[in-house]
């Protein structure tokens, strides 16, 4: 299968943030107009912060918008590593509903954390209207990392929306287990957007797209089965 992707290149990260916030806002408003509610998955990390701030500044019926993280670290909600804490700080004051993937505490059994997340998501109005993905320099996306849980994340039952994952090797900047959306949940979305910066990451993603199903990095394996046209936003 050929991966259908459209690249949108920007001169700098400010231009990138403006464009992404505009696109995501349009997707949310389209869902609100069509169905009266919107369900979106947003990333953590530092790259999306400027665009998320711009998105949060937009006026809309935020009370009808439900937000989940694409993935999260299994940590206390007060931890600087918590993705849902960052999203909640930006969007809860607007009236949006922000649903955590984790129980808000470090867990001894990350697999059980994943099962709990899957159950927590079951009552939401699937499919997602948008999944906004980032990508690490190693080609991971959401928390679909190389490691013992990669095959389950990529090839597990289609009804499984979230799972616990243990990266291997463990990322130095956040050496903890994760909960991530599954490939099936990501690809069931109505729209899929990837946002990244830097020439090195662009090279990794271009190679992953070229390799498709034979890609050695997670994002290539995820995108290989996508029926969606993927918008890729990039700045140096």
| Residue pLDDT, tens place only, 139-171 | 999 999 999 999 999 999 999 999 999 999 999
How does 97-114 read in b/e, with b if 16+ C-beta sit within 10 Å?
bbbbbbbbeebeebbebb
The helix (run of H) or strand (run of E) holding residue 163 is: strand 162-165
Per the listing, tokens 């948008």 go with 130
**Is residue 9 within 8 Å of residue 227, measured between CB atoms?**
no
pTM score of the predicted model: 0.96
Other CB atoms within a 10 A radius of the CB of residue 194 amount to: 22
Confidence of residue 103 (pLDDT cuts 50, 70, 90): confident
CA–CA gap between residue 21 and residue 105 (Å, rounded): 31
Class of residue 215 by CB neighbours under 10 A (exposed 0-12, middle 13-18, buried 19+): buried
Quick one: pLDDT at residue 106?
64
The pair of three-digit structure tokens given for residue 228, joined into one six-digit string: 């969606």
**Is residue 27 within 8 Å of residue 129, measured between CB atoms?**
yes
């Amino acid at each position: 299968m050929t991966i259908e992707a459209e690249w949108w290149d920007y001169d700098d990260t400010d231009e990138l943030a403006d464009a992404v916030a505009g696109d995501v806002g349009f997707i949310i408003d389209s869902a609100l107009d069509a169905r009266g509610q919107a369900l979106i998955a947003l990333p953590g990390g530092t790259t999306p912060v400027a665009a998320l701030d711009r998105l949060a500044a937009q006026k809309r019926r935020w009370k009808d918008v439900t937000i989940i993280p694409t993935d999260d670290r299994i940590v206390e909600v007060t931890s600087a590593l918590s993705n849902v804490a960052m999203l909640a700080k930006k969007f809860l004051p607007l009236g949006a509903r922000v649903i955590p993937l984790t129980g808000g505490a470090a867990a001894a059994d990350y697999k059980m954390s994943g099962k709990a997340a899957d159950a927590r998501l079951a009552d939401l109005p699937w499919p997602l209207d948008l999944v906004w993905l980032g990508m690490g320099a190693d080609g991971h996306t959401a928390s679909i990392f190389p490691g013992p849980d990669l095959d389950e994340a990529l090839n597990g039952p289609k009804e499984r929306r979230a799972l616990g994952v243990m990266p291997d090797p463990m990322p130095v900047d956040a050496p903890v287990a994760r909960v991530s959306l599954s490939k099936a949940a990501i690809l069931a979305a109505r729209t899929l957007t990837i946002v990244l910066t830097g020439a090195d990451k662009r090279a990794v993603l271009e190679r992953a797209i070229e390799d498709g199903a034979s890609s050695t990095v997670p994002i290539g394996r995820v995108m290989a089965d996508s029926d969606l046209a993927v918008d890729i936003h990039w700045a140096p």
